[in-house]
Amino acid sequence: MSRHFAVFGTPIAHSLSPRIHAAFARQTGIALDYVAIEAGHDDFAMHLAAFADNGGHGANVTLPLKESAFALCSNTSERALRAGAVNTLLRDGDGWRGDNTDGAGLLRDLTQRNGLDLRGRRTLMLGAGGAARGIAPTLLDAGIDALYIVNRTAQNADALADLLGDPKRVHARYLDDLPALGEFDLIVNATSATRGGELPHLPMSMVGRRTAAVDLSYGEAAIPFLAWARANRCHDAIDGLGMLVEQAAGSFEVWHGVRPDTDLVYADLRAHTDSLVTAD
């Protein structure tokens, strides 16, 4: 009998998660169905409750609901607790257990697929929402030298810096500070602003000889930031497609106890998304 899974977020029609989990299911021989459910802050709790009432076993959560999902959990994993955000839900009795596979997914993609050594990198993260919260603890654990968090809303950057609890390495700054911050070895775009085609002014002075620029988005949403990175001669320009596949594999493992192979799934999605961008 198939178990029921879903991904919640808005906008959600573009989500590749149903395609990814269908591929994992074929690979592992696990029977499941997986659908995308449109939900915003105001109606997420209602949609999640309806999903549970209809036999929902597990779910992914994407923008902008990761912090809301954390608040709805009856218990969480240690990595979700550190992040204060959840991207993976597992039915646990009458409630939900929350986990966060974003950081582990990003780390696998950057270090194993793209061959980056994150140790000692002076790092800038644009954004302080659920996506940023999911990856920040992992970046610190991976040995980055310092993490500067820049966000349009200053108090959100301050709140994330406080949550991480590492004042020697973590620093909250504001957009107006960017020209004075110097070079970074790693720049991560964890904001959703570019989904609307908006990109804050990013000075060329932030780019050094080994700077890697990483966007957590993929497809059209990643184009503005990656175009900036290439124009300013960043050593690496990486989108979030690999992270998407790896965090999905992490969720699949939480739900089913088996980790699927990601290489073929990633290759299929890379060809698919590249063809869509080229067609546009």
Residue 174: exposure state from Cβ atoms within 10 A (0-12, 13-18, ≥19): middle
pTM above 0.85, yes or no: yes
pLDDT of residue 280: 43
Domain boundaries, the chain: 3-100, 103-241
pLDDT of 159 above 90:
yes
- Helix, strand or coil, per DSSP, at residue 3: strand
Both tokens of 197, joined, read 């085609």
pLDDT of 253 above 80:
yes
- Residues 6 or more apart in contact with residue 149 via CB below 8 angstroms: 125, 128, 132, 136, 157, 160, 161, 170, 171, 172, 173
| 246 annotated binding-site participant | no
The fraction of the chain above a pLDDT of 90, given in percent, is 91
| 38 annotated binding-site participant | no
* 168 tagged catalytic: no
Superfamily (CATH H level) for 103-241: NAD(P)-binding Rossmann-like Domain (3.40.50.720)
Cα 132 from Cα 118, distance rounded (Å): 17
Scan for tokens 């504001």, then name that residue.
174
| 16 annotated binding-site participant | yes
Residue 194's pLDDT band (cuts 50, 70, 90): low
Instruction: Mention the CATH class of domain 3-100.
Output: alpha beta
Give pLDDT tens digits for 53-105.
999 999 999 999 999 999 999 999 999 999 999 999 999 999 999 999 999 99
Task: Identify the active-site residue in 34, 59, 66, 88.
Answer: 66
| 78 annotated binding-site participant | yes
Give pLDDT tens digits for 16-47.
999 999 999 999 999 999 999 999 999 999 99
Cα 29 from Cα 43, distance rounded (Å): 34
Both tokens of 276, joined, read 């869509």
Q: Is 275 left (phi over 0), alpha (psi -120 to 50) or beta?
A: alpha
- Higher-confidence residue: 279 or 243? 243
- Which residue in 139, 183, 176, 177 sits closest to 160, CA to CA? 139
